[in-house]
Structure 1
Amino acid sequence: MGYAEVREIYKKKYDKSLKNSWIAHVLSDHGKTRGKAPSRKGDYKYPCPNDVKPKLEKILKEQKMI
């Protein structure tokens, strides 16, 4: 399961698109990323919005990514 599949499931379920950065942010909060990219300066450019986060977490749990 990858980001594209998660975006597709979210789009079908909630009729809204996701940014890859939002998925990465939620995975990072759960310790599921390798760490900060060396080229990234500061925090996420597009952090996951608070209204999207619980819905995205639910999908990631269903897909056993977190």
Structure 2
Amino acid sequence: MGVVGSISVWMLFITAGLLVGGTWSFYQQDKKGPTVVMGILAALALAGALIVLLGAMP
């Protein structure tokens, strides 16, 4: 994995963390729609980071 792959993994993990924080915030405010959307986006960012990290996607 090169420098670009390493940076993309870090950026995806950071994005996933921020999205999880947003999800929690919306959950505490009892806003169902944004909670679901942010949760799905967080899961996609985490999955993308893991895929790049494991080398399944160059």
Highest Rg: 1 or 2? 2
Fold conserved (TM > 0.5)?
Answer: no
TM-score, normalising length from structure 2? 0.34
TM-score, normalising length from structure 1? 0.31
Q: Relative to total residues, which structure has the larger helix share, 1 or 2?
A: 2
Asked which structure has the greater RCO (Cα within 8 Å, sep 6+), the reply is 2
